[in-house]
Structure 1
Amino acid sequence: MKGAQSRAVAPPHQVEKRPAPSPTHDWIGPPNPLSNMRPIVYRAPETETELEKRLRALRQDTEDWNHDFWANQNVTFSKEKELFIVSQLNAKGLSRRDTEGRRRSLDSEEMAVFYKSFLDKNRIRHANYNKEWYRRNFTITLLMARVVLQNFWKNLSQNGKKSSSPTT
Protein backbone atom coordinates (compact mmCIF):
# COMPACT_ATOMS: atom_id res chain seq x y z
CA MET A 1 0.00 0.00 0.00
CA LYS A 2 1.22 3.50 -0.77
CA GLY A 3 -0.01 4.90 2.60
CA ALA A 4 3.18 6.70 3.56
CA GLN A 5 3.98 7.75 0.00
CA SER A 6 0.50 9.19 -0.51
CA ARG A 7 0.93 11.58 2.40
CA ALA A 8 3.19 14.10 0.72
CA VAL A 9 2.61 16.73 3.39
CA ALA A 10 2.76 15.97 7.09
CA PRO A 11 -0.55 16.51 8.87
CA PRO A 12 -0.86 19.87 10.65
CA HIS A 13 -1.30 17.82 13.80
CA GLN A 14 -3.79 15.25 14.91
CA VAL A 15 -4.73 16.31 18.40
CA GLU A 16 -7.71 14.09 19.10
CA LYS A 17 -7.11 11.04 21.26
CA ARG A 18 -8.56 7.87 19.91
CA PRO A 19 -9.57 4.91 22.01
CA ALA A 20 -8.22 1.44 21.34
CA PRO A 21 -10.40 -0.60 18.97
CA SER A 22 -13.37 -2.25 20.66
CA PRO A 23 -14.15 -5.91 19.93
CA THR A 24 -17.83 -5.06 19.38
CA HIS A 25 -18.31 -1.46 18.15
CA ASP A 26 -16.80 1.14 15.85
CA TRP A 27 -15.90 4.44 17.54
CA ILE A 28 -16.87 7.63 15.74
CA GLY A 29 -15.56 10.82 17.29
CA PRO A 30 -16.51 14.47 17.02
CA PRO A 31 -15.53 16.40 13.87
CA ASN A 32 -11.88 17.36 13.73
CA PRO A 33 -11.52 21.17 13.63
CA LEU A 34 -8.95 21.05 10.81
CA SER A 35 -10.28 18.36 8.48
CA ASN A 36 -13.97 18.68 9.47
CA MET A 37 -14.06 14.88 9.42
CA ARG A 38 -15.20 12.59 12.21
CA PRO A 39 -12.38 10.22 13.17
CA ILE A 40 -13.30 6.54 13.12
CA VAL A 41 -11.73 3.61 14.94
CA TYR A 42 -12.98 0.35 13.48
CA ARG A 43 -13.88 -2.53 15.76
CA ALA A 44 -11.42 -5.40 16.08
CA PRO A 45 -13.31 -8.61 16.90
CA GLU A 46 -11.44 -11.10 19.06
CA THR A 47 -11.90 -13.75 16.35
CA GLU A 48 -10.66 -11.48 13.54
CA THR A 49 -9.01 -13.37 10.67
CA GLU A 50 -5.84 -12.18 8.93
CA LEU A 51 -7.94 -11.04 5.96
CA GLU A 52 -10.25 -9.07 8.25
CA LYS A 53 -7.20 -7.49 9.93
CA ARG A 54 -5.89 -6.43 6.50
CA LEU A 55 -9.27 -4.93 5.66
CA ARG A 56 -9.51 -3.06 8.98
CA ALA A 57 -5.93 -1.77 8.64
CA LEU A 58 -6.58 -0.50 5.10
CA ARG A 59 -9.83 1.16 6.15
CA GLN A 60 -8.09 2.83 9.10
CA ASP A 61 -5.14 3.92 6.96
CA THR A 62 -7.58 5.36 4.41
CA GLU A 63 -9.43 7.28 7.13
CA ASP A 64 -6.12 8.71 8.40
CA TRP A 65 -4.92 9.52 4.87
CA ASN A 66 -8.23 11.26 4.12
CA HIS A 67 -8.03 13.26 7.36
CA ASP A 68 -4.44 14.32 6.59
CA PHE A 69 -5.35 15.45 3.08
CA TRP A 70 -8.35 17.53 4.14
CA ALA A 71 -6.66 18.99 7.22
CA ASN A 72 -3.77 20.20 5.05
CA GLN A 73 -6.10 21.35 2.28
CA ASN A 74 -8.34 23.30 4.66
CA VAL A 75 -5.40 24.97 6.43
CA THR A 76 -3.88 25.96 3.07
CA PHE A 77 -7.25 27.23 1.83
CA SER A 78 -7.82 29.35 4.95
CA LYS A 79 -4.34 30.90 4.85
CA GLU A 80 -4.53 31.71 1.14
CA LYS A 81 -8.06 33.08 1.48
CA GLU A 82 -6.98 35.42 4.28
CA LEU A 83 -3.95 36.60 2.25
CA PHE A 84 -6.21 37.24 -0.75
CA ILE A 85 -8.70 39.26 1.30
CA VAL A 86 -5.94 41.35 2.88
CA SER A 87 -4.29 42.01 -0.49
CA GLN A 88 -7.60 43.05 -2.08
CA LEU A 89 -8.44 45.35 0.82
CA ASN A 90 -4.93 46.86 0.71
CA ALA A 91 -5.35 47.48 -3.02
CA LYS A 92 -8.49 49.47 -2.18
CA GLY A 93 -6.63 51.38 0.53
CA LEU A 94 -8.66 49.70 3.29
CA SER A 95 -7.50 48.07 6.50
CA ARG A 96 -8.70 44.63 7.63
CA ARG A 97 -11.09 46.25 10.14
CA ASP A 98 -13.48 49.15 9.74
CA THR A 99 -13.68 52.16 12.10
CA GLU A 100 -15.97 50.22 14.46
CA GLY A 101 -13.55 47.29 14.69
CA ARG A 102 -15.55 44.89 12.51
CA ARG A 103 -13.72 42.70 10.02
CA ARG A 104 -14.11 43.83 6.45
CA SER A 105 -15.02 41.29 3.81
CA LEU A 106 -15.21 41.09 0.05
CA ASP A 107 -18.36 40.54 -1.95
CA SER A 108 -19.14 37.23 -3.65
CA GLU A 109 -17.87 38.34 -7.07
CA GLU A 110 -14.53 39.39 -5.60
CA MET A 111 -14.27 36.10 -3.69
CA ALA A 112 -15.18 34.12 -6.83
CA VAL A 113 -11.82 35.22 -8.27
CA PHE A 114 -10.05 33.62 -5.30
CA TYR A 115 -12.13 30.43 -5.37
CA LYS A 116 -11.49 29.87 -9.07
CA SER A 117 -7.79 30.60 -8.67
CA PHE A 118 -7.51 28.22 -5.71
CA LEU A 119 -9.28 25.42 -7.57
CA ASP A 120 -7.17 25.96 -10.69
CA LYS A 121 -3.95 25.98 -8.67
CA ASN A 122 -4.93 22.77 -6.84
CA ARG A 123 -6.50 20.94 -9.80
CA ILE A 124 -3.73 18.35 -10.13
CA ARG A 125 -3.59 17.81 -6.37
CA HIS A 126 -7.36 17.20 -6.27
CA ALA A 127 -7.19 14.90 -9.30
CA ASN A 128 -4.43 12.86 -7.63
CA TYR A 129 -6.47 12.74 -4.43
CA ASN A 130 -9.51 11.46 -6.36
CA LYS A 131 -7.46 8.77 -8.14
CA GLU A 132 -6.00 7.56 -4.86
CA TRP A 133 -9.42 7.72 -3.17
CA TYR A 134 -10.99 5.54 -5.89
CA ARG A 135 -8.04 3.11 -5.84
CA ARG A 136 -8.28 2.72 -2.06
CA ASN A 137 -12.05 2.28 -2.11
CA PHE A 138 -11.85 -0.29 -4.90
CA THR A 139 -9.27 -2.26 -2.89
CA ILE A 140 -11.43 -1.99 0.25
CA THR A 141 -14.46 -3.23 -1.70
CA LEU A 142 -12.49 -6.22 -3.03
CA LEU A 143 -11.25 -7.08 0.45
CA MET A 144 -14.80 -6.81 1.80
CA ALA A 145 -15.99 -9.21 -0.89
CA ARG A 146 -13.20 -11.64 0.02
CA VAL A 147 -14.18 -11.44 3.71
CA VAL A 148 -17.83 -12.15 2.83
CA LEU A 149 -16.77 -15.16 0.73
CA GLN A 150 -14.43 -16.38 3.46
CA ASN A 151 -17.24 -16.18 6.03
CA PHE A 152 -19.68 -17.83 3.63
CA TRP A 153 -17.36 -20.80 3.08
CA LYS A 154 -16.59 -21.02 6.80
CA ASN A 155 -20.31 -21.10 7.65
CA LEU A 156 -21.05 -23.53 4.83
CA SER A 157 -18.34 -25.94 5.97
CA GLN A 158 -19.49 -25.69 9.61
CA ASN A 159 -23.10 -26.36 8.60
CA GLY A 160 -21.95 -29.25 6.42
CA LYS A 161 -20.10 -30.83 9.34
CA LYS A 162 -23.17 -30.49 11.57
CA SER A 163 -25.54 -32.08 9.05
CA SER A 164 -23.14 -34.86 8.02
CA SER A 165 -22.31 -35.97 11.55
CA PRO A 166 -24.24 -39.10 12.51
CA THR A 167 -26.99 -38.70 15.05
CA THR A 168 -27.40 -41.36 17.68
Structure 2
Amino acid sequence: MKEPKQPESPFLPNEICEDWVGPPDSVSKIRPIRQHIPTNETALEKILREKQASVLAWNHLYWKKHNKAFKQERRRFVELRTRPGAEAVTDDQMADFYREFMERNREKHRRYNLQWYGHNFRLLGLAGLVAPLRLLRAVRLLR
Protein backbone atom coordinates (compact mmCIF):
# COMPACT_ATOMS: atom_id res chain seq x y z
CA MET A 1 0.00 0.00 0.00
CA LYS A 2 1.28 3.44 -0.94
CA GLU A 3 1.71 5.93 1.90
CA PRO A 4 0.27 9.42 1.41
CA LYS A 5 2.83 12.04 0.42
CA GLN A 6 4.12 13.90 3.46
CA PRO A 7 4.18 17.70 3.34
CA GLU A 8 7.57 19.32 2.79
CA SER A 9 7.40 20.84 6.25
CA PRO A 10 5.29 20.06 9.29
CA PHE A 11 4.03 23.64 9.04
CA LEU A 12 2.62 23.19 5.52
CA PRO A 13 -0.70 21.50 4.82
CA ASN A 14 -0.85 18.65 2.29
CA GLU A 15 -3.00 20.71 -0.05
CA ILE A 16 -2.90 24.45 -0.57
CA CYS A 17 -5.58 26.71 -2.08
CA GLU A 18 -3.22 29.30 -3.59
CA ASP A 19 0.39 29.45 -4.73
CA TRP A 20 2.84 29.97 -1.88
CA VAL A 21 6.02 31.98 -2.32
CA GLY A 22 8.84 31.30 0.12
CA PRO A 23 11.77 33.39 1.28
CA PRO A 24 14.69 33.86 -1.14
CA ASP A 25 17.30 31.11 -1.29
CA SER A 26 20.44 32.16 0.57
CA VAL A 27 22.70 31.58 -2.46
CA SER A 28 20.60 31.99 -5.63
CA LYS A 29 18.37 34.71 -4.14
CA ILE A 30 15.44 33.09 -6.03
CA ARG A 31 12.16 32.66 -4.14
CA PRO A 32 10.77 29.11 -4.24
CA ILE A 33 7.14 28.78 -5.30
CA ARG A 34 4.87 25.97 -4.18
CA GLN A 35 2.09 25.86 -6.73
CA HIS A 36 -1.54 25.07 -6.04
CA ILE A 37 -2.79 22.12 -8.11
CA PRO A 38 -6.52 22.52 -8.80
CA THR A 39 -8.61 19.36 -8.68
CA ASN A 40 -10.05 20.16 -12.13
CA GLU A 41 -6.67 20.99 -13.72
CA THR A 42 -6.67 20.38 -17.47
CA ALA A 43 -3.79 18.73 -19.33
CA LEU A 44 -2.79 22.13 -20.75
CA GLU A 45 -2.83 23.74 -17.29
CA LYS A 46 -0.67 20.90 -16.00
CA ILE A 47 1.84 21.43 -18.82
CA LEU A 48 1.98 25.16 -18.00
CA ARG A 49 2.40 24.53 -14.26
CA GLU A 50 5.15 21.96 -14.81
CA LYS A 51 6.94 24.19 -17.32
CA GLN A 52 6.80 27.11 -14.84
CA ALA A 53 8.33 24.87 -12.15
CA SER A 54 10.98 23.69 -14.60
CA VAL A 55 11.93 27.26 -15.56
CA LEU A 56 12.06 28.27 -11.89
CA ALA A 57 14.39 25.32 -11.14
CA TRP A 58 16.59 26.18 -14.14
CA ASN A 59 16.77 29.84 -13.06
CA HIS A 60 17.57 28.86 -9.46
CA LEU A 61 20.39 26.54 -10.59
CA TYR A 62 21.94 29.17 -12.86
CA TRP A 63 21.95 31.89 -10.20
CA LYS A 64 23.15 29.48 -7.52
CA LYS A 65 26.21 28.59 -9.63
CA HIS A 66 26.79 32.20 -10.69
CA ASN A 67 26.52 33.68 -7.19
CA LYS A 68 28.68 30.94 -5.69
CA ALA A 69 31.41 31.60 -8.29
CA PHE A 70 31.10 35.35 -7.72
CA LYS A 71 31.49 35.01 -3.94
CA GLN A 72 34.51 32.71 -4.30
CA GLU A 73 36.25 35.02 -6.75
CA ARG A 74 35.46 38.08 -4.62
CA ARG A 75 36.81 36.36 -1.51
CA ARG A 76 40.05 35.42 -3.33
CA PHE A 77 40.37 38.95 -4.69
CA VAL A 78 40.02 40.47 -1.23
CA GLU A 79 42.36 37.90 0.39
CA LEU A 80 45.11 38.62 -2.15
CA ARG A 81 44.91 42.33 -1.44
CA THR A 82 44.62 42.26 2.34
CA ARG A 83 47.88 40.77 3.49
CA PRO A 84 49.05 41.51 7.03
CA GLY A 85 50.00 45.16 7.25
CA ALA A 86 48.21 46.02 4.01
CA GLU A 87 45.34 48.46 3.83
CA ALA A 88 41.78 47.32 3.22
CA VAL A 89 40.55 46.90 -0.33
CA THR A 90 39.43 50.25 -1.72
CA ASP A 91 36.13 50.98 -3.45
CA ASP A 92 38.01 51.57 -6.71
CA GLN A 93 39.68 48.14 -6.47
CA MET A 94 36.31 46.50 -5.83
CA ALA A 95 34.80 48.39 -8.78
CA ASP A 96 37.63 47.04 -10.96
CA PHE A 97 36.91 43.53 -9.68
CA TYR A 98 33.17 43.83 -10.48
CA ARG A 99 33.89 45.17 -13.97
CA GLU A 100 36.42 42.40 -14.71
CA PHE A 101 34.09 39.73 -13.36
CA MET A 102 31.26 40.95 -15.56
CA GLU A 103 33.53 41.12 -18.60
CA ARG A 104 34.78 37.55 -18.02
CA ASN A 105 31.19 36.32 -17.74
CA ARG A 106 29.66 38.45 -20.51
CA GLU A 107 29.09 35.55 -22.93
CA LYS A 108 27.60 33.37 -20.19
CA HIS A 109 25.19 36.17 -19.26
CA ARG A 110 24.28 36.70 -22.91
CA ARG A 111 23.42 32.99 -23.32
CA TYR A 112 21.45 33.06 -20.06
CA ASN A 113 19.43 36.08 -21.22
CA LEU A 114 18.63 34.48 -24.58
CA GLN A 115 17.52 31.26 -22.86
CA TRP A 116 15.52 33.25 -20.29
CA TYR A 117 13.68 35.14 -23.05
CA GLY A 118 12.98 31.85 -24.84
CA HIS A 119 11.57 30.25 -21.69
CA ASN A 120 9.38 33.28 -20.99
CA PHE A 121 7.99 33.47 -24.54
CA ARG A 122 7.08 29.77 -24.38
CA LEU A 123 5.42 30.32 -21.00
CA LEU A 124 3.51 33.31 -22.39
CA GLY A 125 2.30 31.18 -25.30
CA LEU A 126 1.06 28.46 -22.95
CA ALA A 127 -0.48 31.03 -20.60
CA GLY A 128 -2.26 32.56 -23.61
CA LEU A 129 -3.86 29.18 -24.29
CA VAL A 130 -4.72 28.53 -20.64
CA ALA A 131 -6.24 31.95 -19.83
CA PRO A 132 -9.36 31.53 -22.02
CA LEU A 133 -9.95 28.07 -20.51
CA ARG A 134 -9.82 29.54 -17.01
CA LEU A 135 -12.10 32.40 -18.06
CA LEU A 136 -14.66 29.96 -19.47
CA ARG A 137 -14.46 27.90 -16.29
CA ALA A 138 -15.04 31.01 -14.15
CA VAL A 139 -18.00 32.13 -16.30
CA ARG A 140 -19.58 28.67 -16.01
CA LEU A 141 -19.16 28.76 -12.24
CA LEU A 142 -20.94 32.13 -12.03
CA ARG A 143 -24.11 30.75 -13.67
TM superposition score normalised by structure 2: 0.80
Q: 2:123 maps to what in 1?
A: 140
Larger Rg: 1
Moved over 4 A (4+): 17-21, 152-156
Paired AA for residue 130 in structure 2? V
Alpha-carbon distance in 2 for matches of 1:34, 1:20: 26
Contact kept in structure 1, 2:45 and 2:130, CA below 8 Å: yes
Alpha-carbon distance in 2 for matches of 1:81, 1:155: 52
Q: 1:118 maps to what in 2?
A: 101
Q: Which runs of 5+ in 1 are unaligned?
A: 1-16, 99-103, 163-168
Instruction: Note closer, same or farther for the CA distance 1:155–1:37 as it changes in structure 2 (3 Å cut).
Output: closer
Contact kept in structure 2, 1:27 and 1:41, CA below 8 Å: yes
Which among 58, 64, 79 is matched to residue 51 of structure 2? Answer: 58
Alpha-carbon RMSD across the aligned residues, in angstroms, is: 2.6
Q: Is it true that 1:32 corresponds to 2:15 in the alignment?
A: no
Superimposed CA distance per residue, residues 37-74 of structure 1 (whole angstroms, 9 cap, x where no aligned partner): 21111111011000000000011111111111111111
The alpha carbon displacement at 1:126 in A equals 0.6
Alpha-carbon distance in 2 for matches of 1:123, 1:106: 24
Paired AA for residue 143 in structure 1? L
Alpha-carbon distance in 1 for matches of 2:42, 2:14: 15
Which among 76, 85, 88 is matched to residue 83 of structure 1? Answer: 76
Paired AA for residue 19 in structure 2? D
Instruction: Note closer, same or farther for the CA distance 1:41–1:127 as it changes in structure 2 (3 Å cut).
Output: same
The alpha carbon displacement at 1:81 in A equals 0.5
Q: 2:41 maps to what in 1?
A: 48
SS in 2 for 1:111: helix
TM superposition score normalised by structure 1: 0.69
Paired AA for residue 99 in structure 2? K
